[in-house]
Amino acid sequence: MWDAVERQVVDDLRRDPKIAARAGELQQRLAEGRIAPRTAARRLLGGGDAGDATRPFRILGLQQVAIGAPDRRRLHALWVDLLGIEPVGLFASERENVDEEICAVGHGAARVEIDLMQPIDPAARPAVHEPALNHVGFWVDDLRAAVDWLTAKGLRFAPGGIRRGASGHDVCFIHPRPAEGFTHCGEGVLIELVQAPA
């Protein structure tokens, strides 16, 4: 039933020339799995986004909190052994100088990763254990559109661009510090943007 309703609404909206071009773009993003159906419908109808109406993406919720220490065994003792957070995997990357245990709390859309990180080489960069609260990650409904739009707005991203993250989703990072040539940064916070599943 909902498929028929959706088709009728889309057909009606496409008769409006202003909406027709936007509908085609959103339909392509839907087909590619780059945007959730509800987000596409909301954008097509022109509502629901706070702030700049031209923003082509939405932050959907908290995806992770990453905590660093010189030795993640101490983090494990606190978060897993004492607090009972469930360990779900391991990830290591020499390029990112990180050896981490991925834990999780919550279920479904409320599931949040708690990443317990230590540096592979404490003298190398990035120093994933400094500060101890390393970064926060947010689900984004359209990561590519977010990066393109935010870059055009002057936001500084960390080197590496969009890449596959530890949890298997595409990610990129907003740089915490300002630099010449950029009008915005993470204002002291490393922020990870994570492509949400369609």
State residue 170 phi and psi, 5-degree precision: -70, 140
Do 122 and 72 lie in one domain? The reply is: yes
Does pTM top 0.75 for this prediction? no
**What pLDDT was estimated at residue 54?**
86
**What pLDDT was estimated at residue 58?**
93
Q: How far apart are CA 59 and CA 138, in angstroms?
A: 6
- In the block, tokens 């780059």 appear at 34
Do 41 and 69 lie in one domain? The reply is: no
Q: Is residue 146 situated within a structural domain?
A: yes
Distance of CA 79 to the CA centre of its chain: 23
Average pLDDT value for residue range 108-137: 94
Q: Is residue 67 situated within a structural domain?
A: yes
For the segment 62-90, what is each residue's pLDDT rounded down to a tens digit?
999 999 999 999 999 999 998 899 999 99
**What pLDDT was estimated at residue 11?**
63
Do 85 and 145 lie in one domain? The reply is: yes
Do 173 and 102 lie in one domain? The reply is: yes
Domain of 22? Answer: 2-45
Minimum mean pLDDT range among 37-41, 112-116, 173-177: 37-41
Per the structure, the count of domains in the chain is 2
Residue 1: pLDDT band with limits 50, 70, 90: very low
Q: What share of the chain is helix, strand, coil (3-state, %, to 5)?
A: 30, 30, 40
Do 68 and 153 lie in one domain? The reply is: yes
Residue 52: pLDDT band with limits 50, 70, 90: confident
> Which CATH number goes with the domain that contains 101?
3.10.180.10
Q: How far apart are CA 50 and CA 48, in angstroms?
A: 7
